Amino acid sequence: MLRLENVKKTYVSKIGLNKYEALKGISFEVEDGEFVSIMGPSGSGKTTLLNMLGTIDTVSSGAIYIDNVDLTKMKKKELSDYRREKIGFIFQDFNLLNTLTLKENILLPIVLGESKHKIDFKKLQEVTKKLGISHILNKYPYEVSGGERQRTACARAIITNPKIILADEPTGNLDSKSSQELLSMLELLNKEYNITILMVTHDIFAASYSDRVLFIRDGKLYNELIKEGPRKEFFDAIIDFEATLGGGVE
């Protein structure tokens, strides 16, 4: 359902003197309902890649197909619709509005939308219960813990029934317990709701939850590992692979 063809991204500084090629031609495919992790050293272009997929930024060349429609050819309005209807974002730094309660934050994408979605309180109930935040919905983000905020961001990402969730280091700020809870939640979303997940992470433990790990290095796809057995085995496999990289990955 998701296919990248030779995607390149070059950052040009404001004056145009400095150019930096952050993505040097990346191609891969993601199946419907797959849970994919993206790993790689800092500065290798992971966030850049995610931004391209989320249409937060534009590609310099190449094509990104979603259900065989090329994102890079879409107009502004279509992009808005695409973002609203198909994608859920989970950011590394939550991006919750401090002026809204958790509930309002979660419902924000729907409230804002010329969205087809109606506010589905049953779904809100269900999602927040699963995420274990249903009892704090009327609190403000600054009144709850980091893990609860991250789970709120997660709820916000899935409330619109997206087909794809893009998550940038979602466990980066969490302690191991919260991080485990969040990952279980993502796994559940993936398995039960058949949502495709792309998750950037530095954390091998987090990556081991996914079906496949893509390694990026210097703006290029370097390798991939596919989960074939239980998680523990996959976890070891990733560690082994990283060891062969010779410490290139944190």
Partner 1 sequence: MSLGKLVLKNIKMNLKNYGMYLFSIVFSVFTIYTFFALGNSDDFLGNLANNAYFESLFQSFAWVILFVLFFYLKYINKQFVKSRKKEIALYSLFGVSNTKIGAMLFIENLMIGLFGLGIGLVFGIIFFKLIGTLFVNILGGSAFITTVPFAVNWKGLQITSVVFLIYFIIIGLFSLVTVNRSKLIDLFQAENVGEKQVKGSWFLLILSIVLIASGYYIACNDNPVVLFAAVLLILLLVIVGTYLFFTSGIQVILNILRKSKKYILKGDRLLVISTFKHRIRSNAFMISAITVLSAIAITLVACAYGIYYSSNENAKMDSFYDISYQMVEGTEDYHQEIKNILEKNNRSILSDQVQNFAQLDVCNYQGSENYCTQNTMYLITDEDYNDLVAHSLIQRDPLHVEENELYIWQSGAVITTNLPIESITLEDKSTYLAKPLGKDNPLPNVFRYNTSVLIADEATYQKIVANNKIRSVQKIEFINYEDSKNSETILSEVQAKNLSISMYYEYYLSAMIAFGTMLFIASFMALVFMIATASLLYFKILSTMEEDRDYYRLLDNIGTTEKKKRKIITKQILPVFLCPLMLAMLHATFAIKSASTVFGLWGLSLWKPSLMMFGIYTFIYLIFAYITIRSYQKRVLKGTN
Chain residues in the site for ligand ATP (CB under 6 A): 11, 20, 22, 40, 42-48
Minimum gap (Å) between residue 92 Cβ and ligand ATP: 8
- Per the CB < 8 A criterion, the answer to whether 49 and 38 are in contact is yes
User: What is the identity of the amino acid at 20?
Assistant: Y
Interaction of residue 98 with partner 1, rule CB under 8 A: yes
As a residue count, the chain comes to 250
Q: How far is CA 58 from CA 11, 26, 68, in A?
A: 11, 14, 18
Site string for partner 1, 100-139 (x = CB under 8 A): x---x--xxx-xxxxx------------------------
Minimum gap (Å) between residue 227 Cβ and partner 1: 31
Interaction of residue 51 with partner 1, rule CB under 8 A: yes
Q: How far is CA 79 from CA 26, 53, 133, 163, 201, in A?
A: 21, 11, 31, 15, 26
Interaction of residue 80 with partner 1, rule CB under 8 A: yes
Interaction of residue 187 with partner 1, rule CB under 8 A: no
- Residue 133 interface partner, choices ligand ATP, partner 1, Mg ion, none, CB cut-off 5-8 Å depending on type: none
Strand 212-217, strand 164-168: pairing: unpaired
Binding segment toward partner 1, per CB under 8 A, in 23-31, 49-57, 174-182, 224-232: 49-57
Which CB sits closer to Mg ion, 47 or 128?
Answer: 47
Minimum gap (Å) between residue 151 Cβ and partner 1: 16
Which CB sits closer to Mg ion, 34 or 169?
Answer: 169
Inter-axis angle of helices 121-131 and 102-112, nearest 10: 140
- Per the CB < 8 A criterion, the answer to whether 98 and 140 are in contact is yes
Which CB sits closer to ligand ATP, 11 or 121?
Answer: 11
Interaction of residue 57 with partner 1, rule CB under 8 A: yes
Residues that bind partner 1 (CB under 8 A): 51, 54-57, 76-77, 80-81, 83-85, 89, 93, 95, 97-100, 104, 107-109, 111-115, 141-142, 146
